[in-house]
């Protein structure tokens, strides 16, 4: 198992054209791999960031055509690829789709699927009004996945506000928390980095958090500022204000030392 390796958070400005979005995502994955990244994480809705109501038209089965292309990409580059999220067709629901994160091993094997549990139903007057539950279906189970780089704990965007999910992931062995997101601008400016650093600190975990940037077809402005954060809460990679691959080092020996010297995870009284 690799103990020290570069990871990449891919920041995108996805729109309503799945083919163009997939090509842009794949190009940045290749850039990250060429720079040495072994773990690469795409943002939420990397394949389609369109207007509400179009979800069912672009939703796919898993496995399906897009997941097959992602598997081939991971295999060709020899990387662990966390494919943000795409809309998964729900066989028993004609109105809504799952928002699903998929993970691929270096050999292209589909290792895990996580369906976003917490749906973003908010109304902040003058800033953002969204009801994901109108078009999305919530998942029901936390997911961790063992890779040769460590155990990944999966989450998506709004999940970030629910620390109990991350405690469940840590209890299941997670060492690296993945938070692919399309975090909106007004809440992102105040809460994005604070919450990500809190999840890293309280769980003594690395956090890899790629975000969307710019305004999608829905009209919502996303915040960008993709981050990779170490277990002490220190950002080790930060994206600038553009689509890009932000690379930072993950050092599992450093993480083990922090967990040994500050063993708060072993001091928990409530579970």
* Mean pLDDT along residues 160-188: 96
57-77 pLDDT tens trace:
899 999 999 999 999 999 999
Which CATH number do you get for residue 256?
3.60.110.10
Catalytic residue among 44, 55, 88, 175: 44
209-263 pLDDT tens trace:
999 999 988 788 999 999 999 999 999 999 999 999 999 999 999 999 999 999 9
Domain count, the chain: 1
- State phi, psi for 270 to the nearest 5 degrees: -120, 140
44 is catalytic: yes
157 is catalytic: yes
What pTM was computed for the model? 0.96
202 is catalytic: no
For 16, the token pair is: 């309503």
Query: Is residue 271 situated within a structural domain?
Result: no
∠ CA 164-170-172, nearest 5°, is 110
Give the separation between CA 48 and CA 217, rounded to whole angstroms: 9
Question: Which residues constitute the domain of residue 103?
Answer: 4-262
Amino acid 271: pLDDT? 76
Amino acid 92: pLDDT? 82
Res. 126 pLDDT band, cuts 50 70 90: low
Mean pLDDT of the chain: 94
Give the separation between CA 56 and CA 34, rounded to whole angstroms: 35
Query: Is residue 270 situated within a structural domain?
Result: no
101-122 pLDDT tens trace:
999 999 999 999 999 999 987 7
- Is residue 88 within 8 A of residue 58, CB to CB? The reply is no
Catalytic residue among 101, 116, 132, 178: 116
Catalytic residue among 101, 113, 157, 178: 157
């Amino acid at each position: 198992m690799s103990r020290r390796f570069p990871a990449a958070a891919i920041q995108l400005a996805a729109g309503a054209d799945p083919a163009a979005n997939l090509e842009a995502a794949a190009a940045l994955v290749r850039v990250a791999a060429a720079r040495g990244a072994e773990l690469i994480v795409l943002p939420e809705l990397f394949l389609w960031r369109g207007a509400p109501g179009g979800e069912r038209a672009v939703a796919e089965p898993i496995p399906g055509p897009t997941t097959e292309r992602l598997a081939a990409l991971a295999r060709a580059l020899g990387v662990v690829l966390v494919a943000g999220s795409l809309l998964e067709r729900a066989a028993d629901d004609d109105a809504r789709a799952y928002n699903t994160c998929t993970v691929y091993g270096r050999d292209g094997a589909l290792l895990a699927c996580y369906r976003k549990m917490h749906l973003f139903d908010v109304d902040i007057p003058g800033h953002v009004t969204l009801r994901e539950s109108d078009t999305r279906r919530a998942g029901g189970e936390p997911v961790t996945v063992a890779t040769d780089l460590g155990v990944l704990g999966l989450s998506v965007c709004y999940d970030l506000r629910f620390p109990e999910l991350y405690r469940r992931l840590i209890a299941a062995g997670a060492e690296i928390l993945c938070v692919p997101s399309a975090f909106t601008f007004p809440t992102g400016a105040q809460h994005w980095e604070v919450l990500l650093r809190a999840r890293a600190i309280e769980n003594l975990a690395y956090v890899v958090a790629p975000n969307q940037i710019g305004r999608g077809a829905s009209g919502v402005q996303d915040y960008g500022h993709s981050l990779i954060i170490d277990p002490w809460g220190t950002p080790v990679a930060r994206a600038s204000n553009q689509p890009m691959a932000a690379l930072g080092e993950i050092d599992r020996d450093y993480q083990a030392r922090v967990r040994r010297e500050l063993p708060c995870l072993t001091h928990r009284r409530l579970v």
